[in-house]
Structure 1
Amino acid sequence: MRHQGKLVSWKAEQGFGFVVQNGSDRKAFVHASAFADRTRRPAVGDLITYEVEPDGRRGPRAAKVKFVRPGRAPAPRGDAEAFGNLVAVGFGLALAASVIGGRLPLLVPVWLAAMSAATFVAYWVDKQAARSGTWRTPESTLHLLALAGGWPGALLARRILRHKSVKASFRTMFRLTVALNSLALGWLLTQDGSALVHLLAGLLRPA
């Protein structure tokens, strides 16, 4: 059963708030991940429709949330997403070319793939925890996984799972991890960086 109500509180940085059902004082917790339209940022006063599901920690929880009317223009995120895609493609092409050309060993893309898989799983686990109200994965852990080379997996998780894509401070830190990874790849492509990673690969290679 769908209900209609108004957002009476919204914490943009944390990505959650509360909605009160029209014609009553029934309040429900609502998380940013529950919104079908992710191009628009929720705000106090927005009218929404939603379904209610139990949440053991906070009481009723809004699910399958939709805005009732347009209200404000969508947040301008298209250019940012396009830039993120461009960075990812450029990073991948540079990495592939360096491995094919022998400048970097196969260890580097294998490491990035493993870290990306682990990061994607960490995002998925955190989203399930957010839905069920159980223990969440610390944001610092997600950032460390991305910084350690798992940022492509984090990028996929943010797009596919629609998780951790609203909070401004988290997006800023994520972009910083991508920039640092790009700088690290640039250094690895130098003579000193290439020599060091080949040395490490040799030490890790089975005798």
Structure 2
Amino acid sequence: MHKGKLTVWKDDRGFGFIQPDDGGKKVFLHISNLRNKRNRPQEGEMIKYQLTTDEKGKLTAINASIQEKFSAWILILLILSILPVWGTVKLSMIYGNPLPMAVYPITGLITYWFYAQDKKQATNGNWRTPEKTLHFWELIGGWIGGFMAQNILNHKSKKPSYQSVYWLIVTVHLAGWAYWLFLQP
């Protein structure tokens, strides 16, 4: 991946130019090659991108994303993680075994890997990872890794049917921890 500053942006025409951090020629960026389109690009923003050349030999940015100063999803992730972290630490202390604290990180890494593989397969037009597999790993504790993958890889983050099942899984986990931590006798 390359990084650079968006020095020219023609919003009405949907393109601009990136000045690479490591110097060199400006790189063309078209709006269709921008992954996180939540906001329109602004001159001065930092862009992360892959470099290619078009049919005329012009340097072109693909798979580009605006580097946000602070990503709101990180704050959301921290808030969502409070109950699972608290619960697994408490479980580990009760039973004198650190294994419960390893469940979320291990299943999260595995889930993130499945998301990355599915994104790669989708990009290459190959056989995809079934959504049931992704949901299985989220259900057994990998939902935090799934949340990270949705935001970092921008994968499965906009499909309503997928998101409804995903957030149901997150709700079940959080409700379970809330019950165990606060409501059980």
- TM-score bracket for this pair, using the shorter chain length: 0.5 to 0.7
Q: Which residue of 2 aligns with 1:108?
A: 100
Verify: 1:122 aligned to 2:121, yes or no.
no
The Cα of 1:135 is off from its aligned counterpart by: 0.3
> Normalised by the size of structure 2, how large is the TM-score?
0.55
**Contact 1:98–1:104 (8 Å) recurs in 2:** no
Cα distance change, pair 190–145 in 1 and its aligned pair in 2 (3 A): same
Q: Deviations over 1:127-152 (max 9, x none)?
A: 00010000001112111110111111
Verify: 1:95 aligned to 2:87, yes or no.
yes
Letter in 2 for 1:39: R
* Cα distance in 1 between the residues matched to 2:53 and 2:35: 15
* Cα distance in 2 between the residues matched to 1:147 and 1:163: 18
**Contact 2:92–2:100 (8 Å) recurs in 1:** no
The Cα of 1:96 is off from its aligned counterpart by: 5.4
Q: Which residue of 2 aligns with 1:178?
A: 170
After superposition, residues 133-148 of structure 1 pair within 5 angstroms as 133-148=125-140
After superposition, residues 185-200 of structure 1 pair within 5 angstroms as 185-189=177-181
One of 77, 86, 99 as aligned partner of 1:85:
77
The Cα of 1:100 is off from its aligned counterpart by: 6.3
Cα distance change, pair 125–119 in 1 and its aligned pair in 2 (3 A): same
Segments of structure 1 that go 5 or more residues without pairing to the other structure are: 1-31, 41-50, 54-62, 67-77, 194-207
After superposition, residues 25-104 of structure 1 pair within 5 angstroms as 35-39=34-38, 64=62, 81=73, 84-95=76-87, 97-99=89-91, 101-102=93-94
State the SS of the aligned residue for 1:102: helix
After superposition, residues 157-172 of structure 1 pair within 5 angstroms as 157-172=149-164
**Contact 1:103–1:189 (8 Å) recurs in 2:** no
* Cα distance in 2 between the residues matched to 1:106 and 1:191: 24
Q: Cα RMSD between the aligned structures? A: 3.5
Bigger RCO of structures 1 and 2 (CA < 8 A, at least 6 apart): 1
Q: Deviations over 1:35-72 (max 9, x none)?
A: 423426xxxxxxxxxx999xxxxxxxxx9378xxxxxx
State the SS of the aligned residue for 2:62: strand
* Cα distance in 2 between the residues matched to 1:174 and 1:125: 18
State the SS of the aligned residue for 2:115: helix
Deviation larger for 125-134 or 93-102:
93-102
Deviation larger for 118-127 or 159-168:
159-168
> Normalised by the size of structure 1, how large is the TM-score?
0.50
**Contact 2:137–2:143 (8 Å) recurs in 1:** yes
The Cα of 1:88 is off from its aligned counterpart by: 2.2
Q: State the identity as a percent.
A: 25
